[in-house]
Structure 1
C-alpha cells in the first residue's frame, strides 16, 4: 500500500481496534496512531481538524475518512482499496 494512514485513537476503544483490523486485512502494515487519551491537547487538535470528538478519526493520505463506520462503508462500497493504493502527492 502506498497511502499514509493516520488514526486518532485511545487505548480502550473497540472501534479503533475494529478499524485497525480492517486496515490490516486490506494490507496496511503501518498506521500512525495518535493517542488522544495520553495527551488532551491531541484531542483538541483532532476536534479542530475534524469537527468530531470521538475516536477513531482516520485519515488516508489527506482524506478524512471519519470513524470506524465510515471506514467499513468505504470498504463495502469498494472504495477503500483504491484509496489505499492511490499515489500520494
Structure 2
C-alpha cells in the first residue's frame, strides 16, 4: 500500500454509507487512485478532528484532493459534471 502522502485523493468513508460507495464508484470508473480511510471505529475525538478538517461538515464521505477539502459525494460529482475533476487530480 502506498503511503497516504502519495495519494492525490483521500476519501473518509463509512462501510455502510451509500454516498461513500457512489463517490468511490466514480473514482474507480475514472481510474483515479485514492486512499480510503474508513472511520467506522473512530472515537468521538477523532470524529471531531475530521469534522474540523472538513470545515465543520459531519456527513460522509469527506473528500480531499491535493490536501484541499472539496466536500462530499455531491461535490465530487459536480466537479465531474463541470469537467473540473480531471484537472484537480493531475
- In structure 2, runs of 5+ residues without a counterpart are 1-5
Paired position in structure 2 for 1:33 = 36
Name segments (4+ residues, structure 1) moved above 3 Å.
Answer: none
Paired position in structure 1 for 2:72 = 67
- Aligned CA RMSD, in angstroms, stands at 1.6
Structure number with greater CO (CA < 8 Å, separation at least 6) is 1
Matched residue count: 83
Paired position in structure 1 for 2:60 = 55
CA offsets 1:33-86 (integer angstroms, 9 cap, x no match): 22222112332211011111110000011221100000000000000001111x
**TM-score (normalised: structure 2):** 0.83
CA contact (8 A) 2:51 2:57 kept: yes
- In structure 1, runs of 5+ residues without a counterpart are none
**TM-score (normalised: structure 1):** 0.84
Measured in 2, the distance between the counterparts of 1:42 and 1:32 equals 18
